[in-house]
Amino acid sequence: MNKSVAYMAIASFLFAMMNLIVKYLDSIPVSQIVFMRSLVMLVMVVALLTQKRIKPFGNNKKLLIFRGLFGTTGIAFFFYTIHSMPLASAVVIHYLTPIITVVISVLITRVRIAPLRWLFFAMCFIGIYIVKDFDDRIEVVPLVIGVIGTFAASAAYNIISVLKKTEHHLVIMLYFPMVTIPIALVYILFTGEWVWTSTANWLLLGLIGFLTYFAQYFLTKAYQIGDVSKVSIISYLGIIYALFFGYYLFDEWYTPIVFGGLALVLMGVIGNIFYKDKPTQQ
């Protein structure tokens, strides 16, 4: 196993553990989970920026703030879907990010893409329709919120692809919690969505932040040294983890037709990843 694959496998496992903890903490409001996750990440990133003597606020502050806004929306909506639907279904919807990232990029740049890729897009959305129509546990509102969250995450990734040319990766990471914390705090103050929970749950809330930071670290390392299309496939181990945890820990099961819908989404995403490095056919 080469290093890039190993790094991505570690990142995928860490993200899966984060998702598992979020699912387990279904009695904790999503806003509180997002706030605590961001607080831990802020402390860790600021410590590293100070150690490395990197100027924290970057050059393109406007884009950095938008990255934070879209990232905040994406993660909050993703956590909401984890609380509101079966774990594997929430994760599969979140893994639509590469597809939607391409769509957003095409809309912005007006670059033409090969017809086959539109087939992959269609496979994904037909798969989601099948999952929704044949799984009574999935309601319309959480599904729509999940898809909107995926669009937000995709927008954040498009912005990151621009920012990485001018900003240090730690600066980009800093703006995520720096924007998220005040938004989450204001939301909590207005809604009162905060619970004083057990010591064990507070530790788990802190652990979400640690897992996120190290998962992103290994994810970045994997993409830096490996082939993007090959490394990306390893990240989809997260769906296997979600199916396993959902079945054995949360008693979540799926009918064959719903499994087929999930598989259709996965095939569409993977097909897009493999095809994206090929020349666009006119």
Tens of pLDDT, residue by residue over 154-209, are 788 778 777 877 888 788 888 889 999 999 999 999 998 899 999 999 999 999 99
Q: Is the per-residue pLDDT at 4 higher than 90?
A: no
Q: How far from chain centre, in Å, is Cα 107?
A: 21
Q: What's the chain's average pLDDT?
A: 82
N-to-C CA span, the chain: 38
- Tell me the C-alpha distance between 142 and 77, whole Å: 9
10-21, pLDDT tens digit by residue? 888 998 999 999
Q: Judge contact between 80 and 145, C-beta under 8 A.
A: yes
pLDDT of residue 189: 93
Q: Confidence class of residue 264 from pLDDT cuts 50, 70 and 90?
A: confident
Question: If pLDDT is split at 50, 70 and 90, which confidence band does 280 have?
Answer: very low
Q: Is the dihedral of CA 203, 204, 206, 212 positive or negative?
A: positive
When mean pLDDT is compared across 55-64, 134-143, 144-153, 227-236, the lowest value belongs to: 227-236
Smallest CA-to-CA distance from 149 within 215, 79, 102 is with 79
What is the pTM for the complete model shown? 0.83
Q: Between 282 and 142, whose confidence is greater?
A: 142
**Pick from 233, 227, 221, 216: nearest CA to 272:** 233
Q: Which two tokens stand for residue 228?
A: 């993007």
Q: Is 179 in contact with 65 (CB distance < 8 Å)?
A: yes
- Three-state DSSP state, 270: helix
Kindly report the backbone phi and psi dihedral angles of residue 56, in degrees, each rounded to the nearest multiple of 5, phi listed first: -80, -25
Distance separating alpha carbons of residues 272 and 218, to the nearest angstrom = 23
Ordered by start, the domain boundaries in the chain are 3-275
Nearest to 211 by CA among 30, 26, 2, 44: 44
Nearest to 212 by CA among 22, 75, 5, 18: 18
Give per-residue pLDDT as tens, 89-127.
Answer: 888 888 777 677 667 666 666 666 677 777 887 888 888
Which amino acid, residue 257?
A: I
- In the structure encoding, which two tokens stand for residue 61, read together? 């502050």
Exposure class string for 59-72: b at 16+ Cβ within 10 A, else e: ebeebbebbbbbbb
Region label for 4, one of left (φ > 0), alpha (ψ between -120 and 50) or beta (otherwise)? alpha
What's the mean pLDDT in 217-241? Answer: 70
Per mean pLDDT, which of 67-81, 150-164, 247-261 is the most reliable? Answer: 67-81
Q: Is the pLDDT of residue 1 over 60?
A: no
Statement: residue 281 has pLDDT above 60:
no
Confidence at residue 276, expressed as pLDDT on a 0 to 100 scale:
53
For the segment 48-63, what is each residue's pLDDT rounded down to a tens digit? Answer: 899 988 888 888 888 8
Q: What is the pLDDT of residue 190?
A: 92
DSSP state of 167: S
Which tokens hold the place of 131?
């999952």
Q: Are 10 and 238 in contact (CB under 8 A)?
A: no
Confidence at residue 254, expressed as pLDDT on a 0 to 100 scale:
80
